[in-house]
Structure 1
């Protein structure tokens, strides 16, 4: 199947965050001219939300899987009337279903919802599992506490550059998003002085410190080789931990894109500290893009 023919898959469960994910994914499908696939997967859980049960006029325990996907489908068609929408209900664990869906999807989109009150502000275990193992980009809808998706409010895409960004899937994905939305791409590169040194040490004041910053600038310059010439790219370098720099940048971004490199072994793709941190704490939607070795 040609990449442009692949759908955007959304994990839906009737919750407010998943309905917000449907909105965002519908906008993305319209931008890319592709189909939207809505999937409800649950082996044993029942619907626990409030708004959908209220709209249907029945107790939450009586909301069926079919009503969940039907509601999501109506919402997507109302949001973007011209897109093709398909639905499916699968009696399986959602993390395994969504990882499998990612093998034949352009991207997988999820709402940010923990499975307990302690995890309310963080990403749930399903999101971590899918982002860490999917074969396609996984977008997690962070940055809002209501059920409304706000597309393009800030007018920029932020890319977190890794050590070897040239030719990376994350760079290409971020550039595509910026071009589709007609907004600048901001490629953030964090740098730090040697951990064993202090700012007062005479060997790292002035020129040595500048050298670390210059190396960061050169890495970003290499990354631009994969970006179309007509795309406006800003490339700030920040003296900070990468996680902190990207969390700060996410406050003014519509989408934060990070790469995740596959490590061979039983557990497949694992999230690094930076990807894990931004998935839990970013102030905007986060796209985790798998990098092929």
Structure 2
């Protein structure tokens, strides 16, 4: 077991729509992803009419549901025009968006969300729905960041922290094969300011790269063995900020794939310090692969 949630096959791609520009970008990304996989695209609009909103009349509930159905129909027409062979299903949910998306994805789907919704969030920050979905993910979640029509970089980037990230690297390899691009495995270790010899020993020392080379070689060797037709580049870096280095590297990636970890004091089983930084600041879409088993207590 490598600690990553197993996937028996390509489940359907589930994406939430709310009429915002960010959601539209996410929908178009999700449609392309579903077409590449040969899977179904599920559009979910959460009317949230079950919420105990004061003074919400029956007529207002009816109007809300009608508007949701119209949004689903318009979106389907746009997608079908671009991907005529893609199977698209629609779900108009009465409950809150995070629950509706998780229910639609079940245990095998991939959830896609935009980086912000209709609320008053900064364009750099993840909206509340995306934050809740990413934090409690049990299936892969993609937060679509970057330009609406991104320039293809020709590579999928996978962040590798330790040997348990082979499952994350495997998911990234599949994405690279779908896109017919190379896979870049990036292992970054922190070399923060050391205070005295104990700190240097604890951090492994700025000059001792051997443990990190072993980690990267272990993961890259397995991926090359499993995906012999894929071009795999493995790179190790040391720096003062692991999330900062990954954000910089995302400038040159079509997709960044990272394994989610549980970190006490952060936002849920998948979203820790590093993953939170990436879904808020990366320059390309970020795919979070939920982690289970040993290693789930680290700080990524």
Partner-residue secondary structure (3-state), 2:171: helix
Whether 1:230 aligns to 2:229 is: yes
CA distance in 2, matches of 1:198, 1:124: 42
Gaps of 5+ in 2: 1-6, 51-63, 294-300
Q: What is the aligned length? A: 266
1:15-67 Cα distance to aligned partner (Å, 9 max, x none): 1111111111111111111111101013159xxxxxxxxxxxxxxx9981011
Whether the aligned pair in 2 keeps the contact of 1:112 and 1:140 (CA below 8 Å) is yes
TM-score (norm 1): 0.81
CA distance in 2, matches of 1:174, 1:127: 21
Q: 1:18 aligns with which of 14, 23, 36?
A: 23
RMSD: 2.9
> What residue in structure 1 maps to residue 112 of structure 2?
109
Q: Tell me the secondary structure at the aligned position of residue 190 of structure 1.
A: strand
Corresponding residue number in structure 1 for 2:292: 292
How far 1:230 sits from its partner (Å)? 2.1
SS in 1 for 2:143: strand
1:95 aligns with 2:98: yes
CA offsets 1:71-99 (integer angstroms, 9 cap, x no match):
11112212211111100101111012112
SS in 1 for 2:125: coil
TM-score (norm 2): 0.79
Q: Is the 8 A contact 2:22 2:116 kept in 1?
A: yes
Once the two structures are superposed, what CA deviation does each residue of 1:181-203 show, in whole Å capped at 9, x if it has no partner? Answer: 1111111111133643489x9x8
For 1:107 and 1:256, the matched residues in 2 are separated by 15
Verify the 8 A CA contact 2:187 2:216 in the aligned structure 1: yes
Q: Relative to structure 1, is the Cα distance of residues 118 and 76 closer, same or farther in structure 2, using a 3 angstrom cutoff?
A: closer
Change (3 A) 1:208 1:14: closer
Match of 2:86 among 83, 86, 93: 83
The 1:142–1:65 alpha-carbon spacing in structure 2 relative to 1, beyond 3 Å, is: same
Q: CA 1:268–1:79 in 2, change beyond 3 Å: closer, same or farther?
A: same
- 5+ residue gaps, structure 1: 46-60
